[in-house]
Amino acid sequence: MASQSPERGRVYRRCGCRRPDGRQYGARCPKLHDGSRHGSWAFAVDLPSADDKRHPLCRSGSATQKAAETALERALESERTGLDCSEDLTIATYLAEWVRLKEKALKPTTYARYRDHVHADLIPSFGRLPLTDLRARHITAWSEAELARGRGRTAVYRIGATFSSALSHAVRTRVIAANPCRYVLLPRPVAPERICWNPAQAAAFLRHNHAHYGDQMADLFELLLGTGMRRGESLGLHWTDVHLAERMLLVRWSLTAVNNNHLYLDHPKTKASRNWVSLAPRVVAALERQAALARAGQPRGRRWKGWSSAVRTGRRCVRRGCWWSCGGAPPSSACHGSACTTCGTPPPPS
């Protein structure tokens, strides 16, 4: 028995029994009319096409006629709105695919955080739920439960922000109509006020390190406090970017650790961070001490590629359109006209 939808499509019962020739009976199985609960409910609807041919959409497996009618209504609604989401798509399947696609688009540290949120928190909590059935109340209940068991607000906010990013991607790709996280995400926690040292405190800290340790960390602290560079930018500094004669260095690398295990060398956090930095005499002295240690550790007869071998070019670099490809030294005043044509690095100060 089949029922017509008020708009389009039909709902009917079918089964997987086969004829003697191996073909399925479908909706013509004799057992479907003996009053038993044999088979399952299904729907079929013709979708619009540009080639004047039939393109039927058929789905079966519903336990009741009402469930099949609801599935048909969802299919018609998806056609009207342009959404493309199957009822069988669970949140676990969607999140696993989304985080896989993000691996090439994000920095390793960001990807590692997203991956941990997805596999350690979101999939265990929401994974079995169909993506189309996710509602704001589910996210609110999860947030309250996490806070109740002692989870920090910052951690809950970051996990929710990852979930919201994934759902926003589902909206942009027309998988769902709206992002259920949008209005129920916890407010961003207020960052605590940072207390900065005054010059006297910073000088006392540096004197203490030099007096009691005098190691590489003491010179690293000189670099951090004397230039304002980030920790990763200081650790990723190359000798070819240090020009002690001109008392300048170029920030263009940043060293980060992924899960405190794998080191990753990448560009600085922001475009403005890739710039020239002037060096104070104390910073120059610290870098000279480290340069001497680096040169002493090189095998005999091997030319050390550092600031001592850098040369001025007197003209703009043309090999890669970048300032730092000019033999590792800042260009002369003849090159000070504009920024790098490749990476946007501004010219060094005159």
Question: pLDDT tens digits, the chain, 350 residues: what are they?
Answer: 455 444 688 898 888 888 888 888 888 888 887 777 888 888 888 877 778 788 888 888 888 888 888 888 878 877 777 777 677 789 999 999 999 999 888 888 899 999 999 999 999 999 999 998 999 999 999 999 999 999 999 999 999 999 999 999 999 988 888 999 988 999 998 888 889 999 999 999 999 998 988 778 899 999 999 999 999 999 999 988 999 989 999 999 999 888 777 888 888 888 888 899 999 999 999 999 988 888 887 666 555 554 333 333 323 333 333 444 443 444 444 344 445 544 455 555 55
Q: What is the pTM of this model?
A: 0.65
Please report, for residues 30, 103, 295, 321, 350, the alpha-carbon distance to residue 333 in angstroms, rounded to integers and kept in the order given.
92, 42, 30, 17, 6
The pLDDT tens digits of the residues spanning 234-281 come to 999 998 899 998 999 999 999 988 877 788 888 888 888 889 999 999
Helices 153-172/108-117 angle, 10° precision: 100
Q: How many other C-beta atoms can be found within 10 angstroms of the C-beta atom of residue 34?
A: 8
Helices 281-296/216-227 angle, 10° precision: 140
Work out whether strand 262-266 and strand 10-18 pair parallel, antiparallel, or are unpaired.
Answer: unpaired
- pLDDT (0 to 100) of residue 330: 46
What domains does the chain contain, in order, with CATH numbers?
A: 2-81 (no CATH), 91-172 (1.10.150.130), 199-310 (no CATH), 312-350 (no CATH)
- With tokens 């359109």, the residue in question is 321
- pLDDT (0 to 100) of residue 348: 59
Q: How many other C-beta atoms can be found within 10 angstroms of the C-beta atom of residue 304?
A: 15
Single-letter amino acid, residue 206? L
Nearest to 71 by CA among 45, 90, 38: 45
Helices 136-148/153-172 angle, 10° precision: 160
- pLDDT (0 to 100) of residue 128: 94
Q: Tell me, what DSSP letter sits at residue 62? A: E
- pLDDT (0 to 100) of residue 270: 85
Q: Tell me, what DSSP letter sits at residue 195? A: P
CA distance 139 to 116: 18
- pLDDT (0 to 100) of residue 24: 87
